[in-house]
Amino acid sequence: MPPKPQIAARGFRLRRFDATTGVRRRWSWRAIAGALALALFSGSAIAVASVSVAQAHSADYTASCTGVTVHASSYQPEGSQPGQANTITFQVDGGEVETFSFGSSTTKSFFFPNSTEAHNYNLTVTAWDDSSWNKQWLNLSSTPCVRPGILSLSAPRCDVVNGSTDLTAKFGDLVAGRHYSLTLASDAPSSTATDYQPSQASPEYTWPDVVPGRDYTVTITDSTNSDLTATKTVAVTGCPQESGIRVDTTQCSAPDHAGVYSVTALELVVGRQYRIDLFAGGNVLADSVTFTANSAQFTHDFAAVPLESYYASVTDVQDSQLVATSNASGFLPCPVRLDEPALTLSQCVDTAGSDAAIGISTSNLVPGRQYRVTVTDGSGATVSSDTFLAEASTWSTALPNLPTGTYTVTVTDVLLPSFTASSRAQLESCPSQPSLALSAAQCSEAGGTAQITAVVTDFVVGRGYTVTLTQAGIPVDGPHDKVAPDSSSWRLPIFTGLAPNKVYRVLVVDTLVPTVVAAADISLGACPGMPKLAITNGTCSLLGASPLHVALTGLADGQTYTVSVTETGGDQPVDGVLAQTVDGDVGETEVVFENVPNGHDYTVTIKNESGRVSVSATTFLPICDLPTLPFDDDLATLAFTGSEDLPISLLGLALIQLGLVLVGLSLVRRRANQS
């Protein structure tokens, strides 16, 4: 029996030759039919197996506003080798990838970070045994969960004192039948929580008998997803109650302005409506303001006309029987700038004690305003203070028997102290009898003047005096009015340039009390006369110089004189002839100038130190006569007889001497030739 055909490893191909004999095989239709049947059976088995595998690998997901749930089933169980596990990955908004491994089946949920926001996410399922069964869902977007809404919170207005009200909340975007947590809280320390399951999507809920006048907060939260929550707050207006009123007035503070009438309503109920009415001059409505209270008190300022009277009331608009009324307040006229007080001084004239006084007069006052006049002394101590209500534009008073000194008088608006003005006054010390002593600086040179120095004692520092110098009852240089010594060492000015040889009187008179006077007389002597000088020429010497004898008389005591010699017509001293100093106390004296060259005109001058006294005299010193010169017996005798022929005489004498020399030489030569 021939061998059965074999199915090739690459299919059902039959060998055409026998493997052992190498003989060409013959085909058997029966064998072919059997092979076909076997192939059909094998193909069916494979198809069935393929269908079974496709149905075994199943993966899908479901999404909600809170997250994603993946369902995977009929996967190849995990193997024993690394990496033989099925995986699910989940990535939100490009963030970190979350990986979950599972076996043949699983249900895995992934949640979004915030269910009330939209997110982008990626989801993959990977089969470890066959990548053809992998699944991925990329760039998916979530739908945010819808928050529950509180559409409104309302409460009917309480119109009864100490009453209550109901608070109703209207919701939206709820899920009927779903459980919510409902909380009511207020500014009171307690709160209430309720498990709330609405029957419709937009229900209402009411809290009865809540206390008015508080802020209430309603919070609704999804019991399943706490991210889904909503909150709303409402202020519940309180019930009416008695209110109070306070009034503050600000008087007019500047010329041509107005005052301020400030009304403060007290003990108000927040949320209730009130009205403040301002009445002027009795019951005339001058102004009004309506407001809703947002706190327990409210203030409003009204302009107030000066010289008017006002009162105000606070009324609850919803309950006009609740009214608070203030007392009436009057407004003063506006202030004006004050003038400096006018002061009238009565200085002390009594040497036995102070009888000084100050008269005060103020002006430009506003009738109806209150003023204060204050008097202070030099140390700042208050001497007098008067407060008065001005009835006219002026006011005056007097302060008698005041001690001497400096005073400041100030007038001030009592309500507005910035409106003030001041004046200062000096009450001089009471008079006393002064004493006066005079001394003179007499004229010390001819044509000079004298001066008088006066010294006053027993005077009053700060008191005024008139000082006058007179001669024969006539003021010499006008009076020095109002001399006010400022210290105990007061010295009067020195009277200078006075004519000598006269009698002068100095008067010091109290300016305010002319009967208080000091007087003193002094005589000024005559000026000394001019000095005199007489010049006598001395004996002429062979050297061509002579002394000058100068006799001085009429010299004045206390003077120092200088006597000098100059050539007449010049101002330079003679060489070698020094000026000499003479003390005038000697009365008269003589000075000698030695070795004054002969043959010139000279001027001798005497001057005192000031140069205002100067006396001069001139003289001529002639050339001295020559003595007789002796010669040999056979020569004539020549005499020097006059200064005018001196040059000619000297020339002749020289020629004679030259001739004698020549004669002598001739005789000597002749004798030599003879020998």
Residue 1 lies in a domain: no
| 323 & 272 share domain | yes
Contact assessment for residue 219 and residue 183, using Cβ atoms and an 8 Å cutoff: yes
Pairing of strands 120-126, 86-92: antiparallel
User: Considering the domain boundaries, does residue 634 fall inside one?
Assistant: yes
Q: What are the φ/ψ torsions at residue 32 (nearest 5 degrees)?
A: -65, -45
Residue 321's domain comprises 244-330
Final residue of a domain: which of 122, 141, 160? 141
SS3 246: strand
Q: Does residue 200 share a domain with residue 271?
A: no
> What is the pairing mode between strands 600-608 and 560-567?
antiparallel
Instruction: Write down the pTM of the prediction.
Output: 0.43
Looking at the structure, tell me whether residues 351 and 290 fall in a common domain.
Answer: no
Alpha-carbon distance 428 to 156, whole Å?
Answer: 85
Predicted confidence at residue 22, as pLDDT, reads 44
Domain boundary among 524, 544, 559: 524
Instruction: List C-alpha distances in Å: 316 to 245, 271, 304, 324, 584.
Output: 12, 11, 24, 9, 117
Q: Is 191 helix (H, G, I), strand (E, B) or coil?
A: strand
- Strands 502-510, 97-102: pairing is unpaired
Same domain membership, residue 226 and residue 199: yes
Q: What is the 3-state secondary structure (H, E, C) of 405-457?
A: EEEEEEEEECCCCCCEEEEEEEECCCCCCCEEEEEEECCCCCCCCEEEEEEEE
Is residue 159 pLDDT above 80, yes or no?
yes
Q: Is the model's pLDDT at 598 over the cut of 70?
A: yes
Based on the fold, state whether residues 359 and 390 are members of the same structural domain. Answer: yes
What pLDDT is stored for residue 421 in this prediction?
96
Q: Pick the range with the lowest mean pLDDT from 117-126, 363-372, 605-614.
A: 605-614
pLDDT tens digits for range 621-655: 988 875 545 545 554 444 444 444 444 444 555 56
pLDDT tens-digit readout, 473-525? 899 876 665 577 777 777 778 889 899 999 999 999 988 888 899 999 999 98
Same domain as 415, residue 450: no
Is the C-alpha dihedral spanning 558, 559, 560, 563 positive or negative? Answer: negative
Our count of domains for the chain comes to 7
The CATH number covering residue 165 comes to 2.60.40.10
Residue 285 lies in a domain: yes
pLDDT in tens, 173-199: 888 888 999 999 987 777 788 899 998
Inside any domain, residue 19: no
Mean of the per-residue pLDDT values of the chain: 84
The three-state secondary structure class of 42 is helix
Cβ atoms 563, 605 nearer than 8 A: yes
Residues 475 and 543 in one domain: no
Of the candidates 213, 319, 312, 239, which has an alpha carbon nearest to the alpha carbon of residue 274?
Answer: 319
Give the torsion sign (CA, 11, 17, 21, 27): positive
Residue 232 or residue 351, greater confidence: 232
Q: How many whole angstroms separate alpha carbon 232 and alpha carbon 220? A: 9
* DSSP conformation letters of 584-603: GGGSSEEEEEEEEESSEEEE
Residue 407 maps to which CATH number? 2.60.40.2550
Dihedral angle sign, alpha carbons of residues 110, 113, 114, 117: negative
Assign residue 485 the CATH number of its domain: 2.60.40.2470
Does residue 133 or residue 39 have the better pLDDT?
133
Which of 330, 358, 374 delimits the end of a domain?
Answer: 330
Residue 352: count other Cβ atoms within 10 Å of its Cβ: 6
Assigned domain for 281 exists: yes
Backbone angles phi, psi at 45, to 5 degrees: -60, -45
Does the CA dihedral 279-283-284-288 come out positive or negative? positive
Total Cβ atoms within 10 A of residue 412: 19
